[in-house]
Every structure is written in structure tokens, then in C-alpha cells.
A and B are shown apart, each in its own frame.
Chain A
């Protein structure tokens, strides 16, 4: 007998709805359009990152470098604007840089980008290397350091601001409606890819079991490579939007954002070991985290304390996931 499967996003949606109703009823300030816009905007900054991160986690990877890639794209775009480029060209250059940064991650992880100096030399010496994939968590930890501090070295810690006078177009990008629109577009695109496109299905299959996916003819290396590039692009978009909103960019933009993105995925029901979850869930997770932050601000508590609640929500999501896994195991045992 087929039991009814509730959608994985249901608890997240329920919590979001409960919070919205509760806040709207007790805090009139919550209903102000400006407040709602602020919630949407902070959900965007985390959520766009989380979409890319969710894609990676669905494929059983992990990308710790997304916060640093935000700095790559924001500083590249800001440097372009400071050099007198058209803002559209500068933003495009920033996004291209983030795509390249993501591709570097993917290349390192899949070993398609050999460290030519080192491994090549060792191989030339006639030593056979064991083909172990580089663990994503370590590779992206290394690129987290390399990207972030590379940006800081290249820009000489320069702080870019006052875009208003040079690039009025950027102010348009900083508007809440544009940011939320971009968020919706990214979510829609990623959700569609993960649910409908072959590439998306391959990613999920790879997250379930990489060996099984490879044996069924999935080009796992290519899928991974593309996934990390896309995650980089998402981080780039988030970096540009953050820069436009703050009217400011420096090498430390988006520091620690990688943990927010992972938290949004977990809260949204994406299984951390891959293979199950949805892009929509990650986006909702980001919205929930933004709502929690907003609720604390409205209650007059320091924003920093939202971590206590976020921590609890992350744990609850993990326990729920555990229960789901157990249930599946039991069902599997019966059949």
C-alpha cells in the first residue's frame, strides 16, 4: 500500500506561515511595506546563495567558498565601475569572474584541473598517483581562503563606494523589488533545471549514489563541474546584489555567508548527504531565516541573537530528516 507522502517543504512552509501570521497580528510594524521589502531583500541575499548551494548538496558535494565568491564578483564589478566602465559591462564582468571561480572549484574537485606543477611533475617522474577525488569540503575550504584573500591582495584592501554618482544603474539593482525579482527568477530557473532538465536529474542521481550514477552512464565529472560553476554564478549574483544594496564593496563582503547558505538548505529540508531535497525548499529556508532575523529586530532584541533560534530550527530539521530516513528504511524492509 502506498502511503501518503507529504512534501518535504511542508514543515518549512508551515513555520513560515505561522511566523507571518503571528508577527502580522502582534507587530503592526511587520506589515509595513518597507519592512516586508527588507525581509525580502535579506531573504534574497541568503536565498540566491542557497539555491546554488542546494544544487551542490543535492549532488552530495559541499561548497564552502560561496561567501568568498561573493567578494570576487562584487569587487570585480566595483573595480570595473571605478575604472569607468559601463555598469552593465562591469556587472557582467563580475558575474563572469564568479562563474570562472566556480569552474575552478569544479575543476579541482573532479581533478579535471590538475595542479600541473605538482601532480604533473610527480607523474613525469614515473610515480603512479592514486586517483582519489579531492574532497569537496577541503578543496572549497582552500579556495575560500584563496579567493577571499586573493581579492584582498588584488584590490589592495580598497573599499569601493559612492556608486550613486558614477553608476546610477546600480542603484536600480539595489532596489528591493529588483532583488526579489532576481531571487524569484533564480529559484524558478534552478527548480526547473533540478526537476525537469536531464542535468538536474543527473545531479540528484549522483547525490543518491555516485557509483550507481556513473555505472548508468551519467558523466559524473561533467555534472559536478557544471554544478560548481553554477553555484559560483549564484554566489556572484548574490554578491552583486549585496554590493548594489549596500552601495559599498570590499574584500570582506559576504564573510561567513557560506554557513548561512548551508543552514538555509538544511532548514529547507535538503539532505546534507545528498540525493534528496529541493531548490524550492532551500529558498524557503532562506526566507525562514530572514523572517527569524526580522522577528527579533521587531521584538527589539539584538539581531545577533537570532542564532539561538536558527540553531534550534536547524536541529529540528535534522531530526525530521532522520525520522524520514528511518521510515524509509522500515518501508524498504517490508517490501
Chain B
């Protein structure tokens, strides 16, 4: 991996890490498109990209977290909390919807800040801190509106996010895409991104190079929390209700999407493009299985199998060294 080793050896072309997931996604798409004409119809494609929007947003944050070598299992229940906050602010407190959305994202970022400070500053293991946040946030979500779901959100809100198009593409697609692109740009072109990759690769070396490890690591969790808040806004807009069960098992799904995309769980290397393809694979599998008239569980079974393959694929990549 070092510059010296690379110079002494002839440059060898290396398969990009996204190859595996790209092949899987292509196979899934081709299979369903040939088998089901409905699958490749425009309404269905629009439906798929709208359905995976919140997963895309959360997975973008999760990719950054995993790049530092951490994990955030609180995103699903933070999403539930943010959804309830949004519903409560808008319906029970009569706040304007824009403010309620901001409030939801702020609550997500706040949860992320708590995670980040405890993980980066106090140096507690990320899995424990986010497990505690998982328990606390899902409990807090049940305290709004007596644990009942909140409906009666303004029609215009659902309309704007769920039904409106920008440049002939659904708003939700733009939101998901924007999160992924923002993550990719941050990772590739900003000091913050390079620092968080360095952190995931070797914490001590990063610290000794004088980089602000605590700030970088904490910020990653704040972003992940804010992503959960944004995902909650998307979900509430789609459902037109805020329910405390929102985002259940989202953490597992997002981790699956990220790893499927080729990001390495121990940190140090990450790919947002891979994550995007992973998210699409999950969405395509779910949609195809549903169109086949099968239960959702079959799709989840196949996603599990794909995940196992992705873990396996991390071995093949090793053969060129690195």
C-alpha cells in the first residue's frame, strides 16, 4: 500500500471495490426485467427510488460511521423519535411544518451529539453507546401523544415531498442522492473526510499527526443522527402519519447496505458509490419479490445471502495485496 511498494511494482489494474455489488445489482435488475415487464415500467422504477430514499439517507451517514471503524445501531430508533417530534411539533404544537422538520433534524443531530461525545471524548465503545441510545430513543418516542401515532399533517407537506417532481425526477430521489453525493464529496475532497478515513485506518497515527481525532469522530455521529432525522421527515411525508414504530430494523438494513457496497467494517476505507448500489440492490430485490407475488421475507432472505457473499468478496480483494 505504501508509495514505495507501489513504485517498485508495475502498476496493476485493480478491480474497483464496487464491482461485486454492481454485478449483483445488474443480475437482479436483468433477471426481474426479463421476467416481469412491470418491473422495468417507469412507475415501478419511480416507486423503487422513492421507497429507498430514507434508507439512502441513513446509509450515507452509516458509511461515514463505519469508515471510522465504529457502528451506529441507534439510527432506527432515533428515526422513530424524530418522526414523533415532527408529528408532535406540527399537529399538537401547531408549529409551521418547515420548523417542525427542522426540529426533527435537530433532535436527530442532538442524539448524534450525545453519541459522538460519549464515543469520541469519553472513549466508550460505539456499539455500547449507540445500543444505549437505541433503547433510550425508542422509549422516548413512545412518550409523545400517549404512544399513539400522530396523523393530520398538512396535505401540502406530503404533496411536496412525495408527489412533486424536480426535473422530472421525484423529490425523494433528489434527497437520497444529495445525501449520498454530499457524503462522497465530504469523504473525497474535504479535510474532514480524509481525517475520518485516517482515523478508521489508524487512530494513534492520526492523533500523533496532530489531527483533531475527537472532533472528527464526534462530528461523524452528529451527521449520522441528523441523517436519521432527515430520514424521519421523509418517512412521515410518505406515510402522512408519525408512528413510534418508524424505522424499526433500519439500523440492520443500513449496515447491510453499506457492507454490501464494499465498505470495510473495520474502517479506513469506504465507498459511497458502493453504498448507493447496495441501497438500490435492496430496493430492487424487495420490489421484484413483491411483484412476483411473494412475501417480503423472501427478499430479506436473499439480502442475507447477498450480505454473506459481500463478506466473502472482501477476501478476493485481498489477493492483490493491500
Residue A181 CB within 8 A of the other chain: no
- Contacting A at CB under 8 A, from B11-59, are none
Cβ distance A59 to chain B, nearest Cβ, rounded Å? 16
Q: Which of A62, A135, A315 contacts B311 (CB 8 A)?
A: A135
Nearest CB in chain A to that of B301: its residue: A149
- For the side of the interface on A, what is the size category? 35 or more
Is A137 a contact partner of B316 (Cβ separation < 8 A)? Answer: no
Cα distance A306–B139 in the bound complex, in angstroms: 7
A153 to B297, Cβ gap below 8 A?
yes
Q: Is the CB of B127 within 8 A of A272?
A: yes
What residues of A have a CB within 8 angstroms of the CB of B151 in the complex?
Answer: none
Judge if A124 is at the interface, Cβ distance under 8 Å. Answer: no
Q: In the complex, what distance in Å separates the CA atom of A153 from the CA atom of B294? A: 10
A304-B147, A308-B139, A315-B118 given; A148·B131 CB < 8 A: no
Which stretch from A115-123, A213-221, A227-235 is at the chain B interface?
A115-123
> Would you call B266 an interface residue if the criterion is a C-beta within 8 Å of the partner chain's C-beta atoms?
yes
Name the distance in Å between A210's Cβ and chain B's nearest Cβ. 14
The complex places the Cα of A58 from the Cα of B140 at a distance, in Å, of 31
B150 contacts partner chain A, Cβ-Cβ < 8 Å: no
Measured CB to CB, the closest approach of chain A to B190, in angstroms, equals 28
Contact of B301 among A141, A145, A272 (CB under 8 A): A145
- Known A132-B318, A259-B73; judge A308-B135 contact (CB<8 A): yes
Digitize B240-255: 1 where CB-to-A-CB distance is under 8 Å, 0 elsewhere.
0000100001001001
Contact of A159 with B by CB under 8 A: no
Stretch at the interface among B102-110, B173-181, B302-310: B302-310
User: With A and B bound together, what is the CA distance between A312 and B315 in angstroms?
Assistant: 39
Picked from B125, B137, B295, the residue with its CB within 8 Å of the CB of A157 is B295
- Please judge, given known A-B contacts A138-B259, A142-B311, A251-B297, whether A122 and B131 are in contact too, CB under 8 Å: no
Give, as a whole number of angstroms, the nearest-CB distance from A80 to chain B. 21
B230 to chain A, nearest CB (A): 23
**Do the beta carbons of A144 and B312 come within 8 Å of each other?**
no
Asked if residues B136 and A118 are in contact (CB atoms below 8 Å), the reply is no
Distance in angstroms between the alpha carbons of A312 and B300 in the assembled complex? 33
B123 within 8 A of A: yes
In whole angstroms, how far apart are the Cα atoms of A106 and B135 in the complex? Answer: 28
- CB <8 Å contact, A129 and B256: no
Most central of A115, A131, A307, A308 by chain B CB within 10 Å: A307
Q: B139 — which chain A residues lie within 8 A by C-beta?
A: 304-308, 310-311
Within 8 A of A (CB), among B203-252: 244, 249, 252
Q: How far is the CA of A318 from the CA of B311 in the complex (A)?
A: 29
Beyond A145-B301, A148-B300, whether A139 also contacts B135 by CB under 8 A is no
Q: Are B307 and A149 in contact (CB under 8 A)?
A: no
A322 within 8 A of B: yes
Cβ contact within 8 Å between A314 and B301: no
Whether the Cβ atoms of B298 and A139 lie closer than 8 Å is: no
Known: A128-B319, A311-B135. A143 touches B73 (CB 8 A): no
CA distance A132 to B318 in the complex (A): 9
Determine whether A14 belongs to the interface, using a CB cutoff of 8 Å to chain B.
no
Of the residues A119, A141, A310, A319, contact of B312 by C-beta under 8 Å: A119
A sample of 5 cross-chain residue pairs with beta-carbon separation below 8 angstroms, ordered by A number, consists of A108-B308, A119-B312, A128-B319, A266-B131, A318-B129
Which A residues fall within an 8 A CB radius of B?
62, 108, 115, 118-119, 122, 127-132, 134-135, 137-139, 141-146, 148-150, 152-153, 157, 251, 256, 259, 262-263, 266, 272-273, 302, 304-308, 310-312, 314-315, 317-319, 322
